[in-house]
Chains A and B, each alone.
Chain A
């Protein structure tokens, strides 16, 4: 369904400095699958989700959606593309993503009007249907965002995203701005919607437990590159990349935690990075001279099929 290849995004900072937000990112997503994208702040998760949702343009690479390279269509023009309704996004901050002058019903109705051409009774019926699907009580539909709670605003955001019947839903940390008590309910809702509507998810998060719960596969990113990708169980149970191991060790489990291998040192700067150095080398306890000579290719991380990690430690010859 989605084939991403060689995706890169650079921001010119002036004075010859270039920020490499994404470099050589490639992965596939099957229909109905949920791919989790994890990594720390600034690792390129949000940039990647914005490019795939066609809100931003890539510097290089391609995004094949149903066989068409949608990365070749400028983001400004994609708004009127017939595929616009097929890819929708749920925003991180529901409050910021809702126009303060639109009622909940108007917010959900907008993509239906513009993308589906619905009007009148058909429009009202579909708005009510989407509200019901997301568990938003009908009497809240006439309210403005400032009259809704955080969880209700999140539901409006989700209802708006599923309204034009997308096939791919990009979720950019949809629960990170919510109270913990509301988070679980919203995650439950997202899991239900996925099976009910047969949606494909691209789930961006920094919460590993959430990703493990909701996603079939996981992609770990570090400074704009893929560190590790594979089935969620394979990646979390047998992390192959030192960065993933550190992330997995940092998951709070409630038990007393010894031997926590937390990375030390400063992360490399994403500005003008040396293309021949592993980007994690500066924080890696197992860094070898080779890590500063060549960027490691994606190598099989375990016996599990499709489990890959970008680390020289996995190379057969060491």
Chain B
């Protein structure tokens, strides 16, 4: 299985141009997240009254903002923070959702009811309002943005995991696993949870896009990352006011980066599922 992973990944990508495009976009952003600070032509924090609000030019490809900071450098440097928040939040809700949903689907009874009610309660709130509430209550820090984004997404993962585990708990291969000497935990972690992964991966790809938007939106309304830290949501927020006076570049470029990242994650979609589903292999 490990032997064929790269071959399988290539097979999945070649068979699905949308996934290939998504993988290229996401790969590009991941690369920028790593090397962005070195690629940035200027210090993203350096202000200059003389360079305030310059339109895009050869020296400043994306123009400069109100206090004269280079927008290209700021967009590049922000990649690491935005992607980091989205990926940490998604990993967190994926893991928690898998454990909670898996336990609910496998154990049933009161565990199932308790997890179900928590899910229902979380889903009763408009997601963004809930995230706002969490950050407002816990304080304005990156850790709290990650937690807030993870918590609002948790029910989606928990539901998928619960359903996937629940439909298979009576399956023959689960009984066979018991005959092979697996205890309850062995059956759950070796047999049921791996089978829940393919639909969970679809959720991951949709969620990465949502998570990045959620974090940027929190920053946009002033509840997220604080200025002057370079972050796409803040930059769009700061630039939004300037669009009316004709300085369109301050909001456009961070907005484009945000849009492209969400687009890339969503394109990954089914490909990510096919990657973890042996039934797609031929």
Give the B-binding residues of A (Cβ under 8 A): 53, 55, 75-76, 79-80, 84-85, 88-89, 91-93, 96-103, 107, 110-111, 114-115, 144, 146-147, 157, 160-161, 164
B260-282 CB contact bits vs A (8 Å, 1 = yes)? 00000000000000000011011
Also in contact, A99 and B173, with CB within 8 A (given A144-B278, A144-B279, A146-B279): yes
B171→A79 contact, CB < 8 A: no
Q: Can you identify 8 A-B contacts, CB atoms within 8 angstroms? A: A55-B179, A76-B183, A79-B183, A88-B179, A98-B176, A101-B194, A107-B176, A115-B180
Question: Between A and B, how many residue pairs show CB distances below 8 Å?
Answer: 75
B181→A79 contact, CB < 8 A: yes
Complex CA distance for A157 and B181, rounded to whole angstroms: 16
In this assembly, does B7 line the interface, its C-beta being within 8 Å of a C-beta of chain A? Answer: no
In this assembly, does B177 line the interface, its C-beta being within 8 Å of a C-beta of chain A? Answer: yes
B195→A80 contact, CB < 8 A: no
Minimum C-beta distance from B31 to chain A (A) = 32
A91→B176 contact, CB < 8 A: yes
B195→A114 contact, CB < 8 A: no
Complex CA distance for A191 and B179, rounded to whole angstroms: 22
Complex CA distance for A108 and B176, rounded to whole angstroms: 11
A97→B173 contact, CB < 8 A: yes
Give the A-binding residues of B (Cβ under 8 A): 1, 171-173, 175-184, 186, 191, 194-195, 278-279, 281-282
B279→A100 contact, CB < 8 A: yes
Residue of B nearest to A94 (CB): B172
Complex CA distance for A92 and B173, rounded to whole angstroms: 11
Q: What residues of B have a CB within 8 angstroms of the CB of A100 in the complex? A: 173, 195, 278-279
Q: What residues of A have a CB within 8 angstroms of the CB of B183 in the complex? A: 76, 79-80
A110→B1 contact, CB < 8 A: no
Q: What residues of B have a CB within 8 angstroms of the CB of A147 in the complex? A: 282
Also in contact, A96 and B171, with CB within 8 A (given A101-B194, A144-B279): yes
B184→A76 contact, CB < 8 A: yes
A97→B176 contact, CB < 8 A: yes
Residue of A nearest to B173 (CB): A99
Complex CA distance for A69 and B167, rounded to whole angstroms: 33
Q: What residues of B have a CB within 8 angstroms of the CB of A144 in the complex? A: 278-279, 281
Q: What residues of A have a CB within 8 angstroms of the CB of B176 in the complex? A: 89, 91, 97-99, 107, 157, 160
B194→A53 contact, CB < 8 A: no
Q: What residues of B have a CB within 8 angstroms of the CB of A107 in the complex? A: 176
Q: Which of B1, B175, B195 contacts A91 (CB 8 A)?
A: B175
Given contact pairs A88-B179, A98-B173, enumerate 10 new A-B contacts (beta carbons under 8 Å): A53-B179, A93-B172, A97-B172, A99-B173, A99-B195, A101-B278, A107-B176, A114-B181, A115-B181, A157-B176
Residue of A nearest to B1 (CB): A103
A111→B172 contact, CB < 8 A: no
Complex CA distance for A102 and B186, rounded to whole angstroms: 15
Residue of A nearest to B187 (CB): A79
Complex CA distance for A220 and B176, rounded to whole angstroms: 26
Q: Which of B1, B177, B181, B184 contacts A99 (CB 8 A)?
A: B177
Minimum C-beta distance from B84 to chain A (A) = 31
Minimum C-beta distance from A150 to chain B (A) = 14
Q: What residues of B have a CB within 8 angstroms of the CB of A110 in the complex? A: 177, 180, 182
Residue of B nearest to A99 (CB): B173
Residue of B nearest to A170 (CB): B179
Residue of A nearest to B178 (CB): A79
Q: What residues of B have a CB within 8 angstroms of the CB of A161 in the complex? A: 179
Complex CA distance for A97 and B282, rounded to whole angstroms: 21
A114→B175 contact, CB < 8 A: no
Complex CA distance for A75 and B175, rounded to whole angstroms: 11
Residue of B nearest to A56 (CB): B175
The list of the 6 closest CB pairs from A to B, nearest first, reads: A114-B181, A97-B172, A96-B172, A111-B180, A99-B173, A115-B181
Minimum C-beta distance from A171 to chain B (A) = 13
Minimum C-beta distance from A124 to chain B (A) = 15
Q: What residues of B have a CB within 8 angstroms of the CB of A80 in the complex? A: 181, 183
Complex CA distance for A260 and B172, rounded to whole angstroms: 37
Q: What residues of A have a CB within 8 angstroms of the CB of B177 in the complex? A: 99, 110
Q: What residues of B have a CB within 8 angstroms of the CB of A75 in the complex? A: 178
Minimum C-beta distance from B29 to chain A (A) = 30
Q: What residues of B have a CB within 8 angstroms of the CB of A55 in the complex? A: 175, 178-179
Q: What residues of A have a CB within 8 angstroms of the CB of B194 in the complex? A: 101
Minimum C-beta distance from A158 to chain B (A) = 12
Minimum C-beta distance from B133 to chain A (A) = 40
Residue of B nearest to A144 (CB): B278
Q: What residues of A have a CB within 8 angstroms of the CB of B195 in the complex? A: 99-101
Q: What residues of B have a CB within 8 angstroms of the CB of A93 in the complex? A: 172
Complex CA distance for A231 and B244, rounded to whole angstroms: 96
Minimum C-beta distance from B176 to chain A (A) = 5
Residue of B nearest to A166 (CB): B179
Complex CA distance for A11 and B191, rounded to whole angstroms: 27
Q: What residues of B have a CB within 8 angstroms of the CB of A91 in the complex? A: 172, 175-176
Q: What residues of A have a CB within 8 angstroms of the CB of B180 in the complex? A: 110-111, 114-115, 160, 164
Complex CA distance for A33 and B171, rounded to whole angstroms: 30
Complex CA distance for A103 and B278, rounded to whole angstroms: 9
Point out which of A98, A114, A146, A160 has the most chain B C-beta atoms below 10 A from its C-beta.
A114
Complex CA distance for A260 and B181, rounded to whole angstroms: 47
Minimum C-beta distance from A111 to chain B (A) = 4
Q: What residues of B have a CB within 8 angstroms of the CB of A85 in the complex? A: 181
Minimum C-beta distance from A184 to chain B (A) = 23
